[in-house]
Structure 1
Amino acid sequence: MKIQEIRIRSLRGISEILSVPLHAKGSKLAVTTLIFGDNGAGKSSVIDALEFAIRGQVSRRGIGGRKQRKELRNLFLDLPPIVTAKTDSGECLARGAVKSTKGTNILKGRETPKGIGGWPVAVRRQDVEGFWRVDDDRRLEFFYDYFLPAGGSFADEQRRTEAIRLYDEAVLAHHSVIDRLEVYLDPWRGEIPEHVGATSTFKRVLMQQDGLRRRDRRELEELIDEFEFTLSRRNSLAGAAKSARNAQVIDLERVANVLEPLAVAVAEDFRIATGLTWLSNVNFHVTGSGRMSIHLITTTGKRCDPRDVLSEAYLDLLALMIVADLHLVLAKDTERRFIAFDDVFQSVDAPLRQRALQHIATKFDGWQLIITLHDGLWLKSAAKILGESNIRVLRLRNVGHQASPAILDERTGPLADIDACIEDSASPILLVQASGRALESLCHELSFTWKVQIQRPPRDEYKLANLWEVLKPTFSRSADAPFLQAYLRLDSAKFLRNEAAHSNETADSLTDSEASQFAADVRTLWNTLTCPRCGRLVKNPEINGIWTPVRRCGHADRQ
Structure 2
Amino acid sequence: MDSDIGGAVQNGSVASGTFEQDAAALTQTANRLLSIIRARQQVSPIPRTLITRWESVEDEAIRTSIRERKVRGRDQVQLLFFHADRLATNAAQFRDPQKLIESITQLCFACFYVARSRTYATPEVRRAALELSDKCSAGIRVPRFVRVELRASLEKTKADLADWLRFLGPGFDAVKIEGILKEAKTMGTRKDLFVLPDLPPLEATESAAELLAAAASEQQEQADRLSLRIAYDRSDSEVRIRSVELFGIRGAPGSLKIPFLLKKEPVSSLIFGENGTGKSTIVDAIEFALQGRIGRSTLYDSPLSPALRSFSRDSDNWSLVELSDGTKVRREVVTNAGGTTAAEPLTVRPGFRLAPITIQRSDLLRFLDTGALSRGTILLDYFPASSETLAIRPDEAAHRLEATLTELRIKRTAYAERLALLLGVSPADVESREGFSKSIKEKVYKEQTPYSFQQNRGWEAMDPELARTIRNLSQVHSDMRSIKKQLVAKDNLLNPALHRDQVDLVKVALKGVADEVTHAFRAICREHSVERIDILFGRSGPLSLDIRVGLSDGRSCFPQQIFSEAYRDLLALLFFTSVAKKAAEHGQVRVLILDDVLQSVDASVRQDFVNHLLSNFQDWQLIFTVHDRLWMERLRSLFSAHGHRFVEHQIRSWDAAEGPILQQPGVDVLSKDLMFMLDHGEPEGIVGRAGPLLEHLCKELCARFSLMVPYKRDGRHMLADLWSATQSSLCDTRLEAELRNLAADRALRNLAAHADPKVLELSMNEARHFGRAVLDLYTAIRCPDCRRWVNEGKECGSDRCISNIKR
TM-score by length of 1: 0.68
8 A Cα contact 2:381 2:392, kept in partner: no
Q: Which residue of 1 aligns with 2:765?
A: 508
Structure-2 separation of matches of 1:306 and 1:247: 30
Q: Which residue of 1 aligns with 2:564?
A: 311
Structure-2 separation of matches of 1:376 and 1:108: 37
2:568 is paired with a residue whose SS is: helix
Structure-2 separation of matches of 1:509 and 1:463: 19
* Residue 87 of structure 1: how far off its partner (Å): 1.8
- Deviations, residues 42-61 of structure 1 (Å, cap 9, x unaligned): 22122111111011122469
Q: Which residue of 2 aligns with 1:36?
A: 272
8 A Cα contact 2:674 2:689, kept in partner: no
Structure-2 separation of matches of 1:283 and 1:459: 43
Q: Which residue of 1 aligns with 2:616?
A: 363
Q: Which residue of 1 aligns with 2:634?
A: 381
Distance 1:23 1:434, change over 3 A: farther
Greater RCO (Cα-Cα under 8 Å, separation 6 or more): 1
Q: Which residue of 2 aligns with 1:278?
A: 529
How do residues 223-238 of structure 1 correspond to structure 2 at under 5 angstroms?
A: none
- Deviations, residues 25-66 of structure 1 (Å, cap 9, x unaligned): xx43333222223332222122111111011122469xxxxx
Structure-2 separation of matches of 1:463 and 1:409: 31
Structure-1 separation of matches of 2:716 and 2:371: 53
- Deviations, residues 84-107 of structure 1 (Å, cap 9, x unaligned): 111223221101169xxxxxxxx9
8 A Cα contact 1:428 1:515, kept in partner: no
Structure-2 separation of matches of 1:309 and 1:527: 43
Q: Which residue of 1 aligns with 2:466?
A: none
Q: Which residue of 1 aligns with 2:710?
A: 454
How do residues 103-122 of structure 1 correspond to structure 2 at under 5 angstroms?
A: 108-122=344-358
* Residue 348 of structure 1: how far off its partner (Å): 0.8
Structure-1 separation of matches of 2:281 and 2:293: 13
How do residues 26-425 of structure 1 correspond to structure 2 at under 5 angstroms?
A: 27-59=263-295, 70-79=306-315, 81-96=317-332, 108-150=344-386, 151=389, 207-209=450-452, 250-287=501-538, 289-334=542-587, 336-387=589-640, 390-395=646-651, 397-400=653-656, 403-409=658-664, 416-417=670-671, 421=675
Does 2:240 align with 1:2? yes
Structure-2 separation of matches of 1:5 and 1:109: 20
Structure-2 separation of matches of 1:15 and 1:343: 22
* Residue 503 of structure 1: how far off its partner (Å): 5.7
1:405 is paired with a residue whose SS is: strand
Q: Which residue of 2 aligns with 1:483?
A: 735
1:280 is paired with a residue whose SS is: strand
Moved more, 452-461 or 300-309: 452-461
Structure-2 separation of matches of 1:269 and 1:235: 43
2:589 is paired with a residue whose SS is: coil
8 A Cα contact 2:364 2:572, kept in partner: yes
- Deviations, residues 157-201 of structure 1 (Å, cap 9, x unaligned): xx99xx9xxxxxxxxxxxxxxxxxxxxxxxxxxxxxxxxxxx9x9
* Residue 14 of structure 1: how far off its partner (Å): 2.0
| 1:399 counterpart letter in structure 2 | D
Structure-2 separation of matches of 1:225 and 1:58: 28
Q: Which residue of 2 aligns with 1:523?
A: 779
Structure-2 separation of matches of 1:133 and 1:455: 45
- Deviations, residues 183-227 of structure 1 (Å, cap 9, x unaligned): xxxxxxxxxxxxxxxx9x9x99972259xxxxxxxxxxxxx9998
Q: Which residue of 2 aligns with 1:214?
A: none
Distance 1:300 1:427, change over 3 A: same
* Residue 325 of structure 1: how far off its partner (Å): 1.4
Q: Which residue of 2 aligns with 1:468?
A: 723
8 A Cα contact 1:154 1:250, kept in partner: no
| 1:207 counterpart letter in structure 2 | P
* Residue 382 of structure 1: how far off its partner (Å): 2.2
Structure-1 separation of matches of 2:479 and 2:594: 45
2:350 is paired with a residue whose SS is: coil
* Residue 241 of structure 1: how far off its partner (Å): 9.8
Distance 1:274 1:209, change over 3 A: same
Does 2:265 align with 1:12? no
| Higher alpha-carbon Rg | 2
1:441 is paired with a residue whose SS is: helix
Equivalent position to 2:698, from 443, 446, 452: 443
| 1:13 counterpart letter in structure 2 | G
Q: Which residue of 2 aligns with 1:22?
A: 260
| 1:324 counterpart letter in structure 2 | T
Identical aligned residues as a percent = 22
| 1:334 counterpart letter in structure 2 | G
Q: Which residue of 2 aligns with 1:213?
A: none
- Deviations, residues 249-308 of structure 1 (Å, cap 9, x unaligned): 552232122223011111122223333442222212123723321112223343321111
8 A Cα contact 1:117 1:334, kept in partner: no
Structure-1 separation of matches of 2:548 and 2:695: 50
* Residue 495 of structure 1: how far off its partner (Å): 5.8
Structure-1 separation of matches of 2:583 and 2:597: 20
| 1:263 counterpart letter in structure 2 | A
1:267 is paired with a residue whose SS is: helix
Structure-2 separation of matches of 1:506 and 1:229: 75
Structure-2 separation of matches of 1:226 and 1:440: 66
1:357 is paired with a residue whose SS is: helix
* Residue 456 of structure 1: how far off its partner (Å): 6.9
8 A Cα contact 2:295 2:358, kept in partner: no
Distance 1:417 1:209, change over 3 A: same
| 2:242 counterpart letter in structure 1 | Q
Distance 1:456 1:378, change over 3 A: closer
Structure-2 separation of matches of 1:7 and 1:95: 11
Structure-1 separation of matches of 2:778 and 2:295: 48
Distance 1:432 1:397, change over 3 A: closer
- Deviations, residues 408-429 of structure 1 (Å, cap 9, x unaligned): 258897x831797299967897
Q: Give unmatched runs, 5+ long, in structure 2.
A: 1-238, 298-303, 335-342, 402-436, 454-474, 798-807
- Deviations, residues 371-425 of structure 1 (Å, cap 9, x unaligned): 222223322222222239843132152223x652322258897x83179729996
Structure with greater helix share of residues:
2
Distance 1:113 1:153, change over 3 A: closer
Q: Give unmatched runs, 5+ long, in structure 1.
A: 62-67, 99-106, 164-198, 211-223, 539-550
1:251 is paired with a residue whose SS is: helix
Alignment length, in residue pairs?
463
Structure-2 separation of matches of 1:154 and 1:9: 26
* Residue 451 of structure 1: how far off its partner (Å): 5.1
Distance 1:508 1:306, change over 3 A: same
1:347 is paired with a residue whose SS is: coil
2:630 is paired with a residue whose SS is: helix
TM-score by length of 2: 0.49
Moved more, 47-56 or 487-496: 487-496
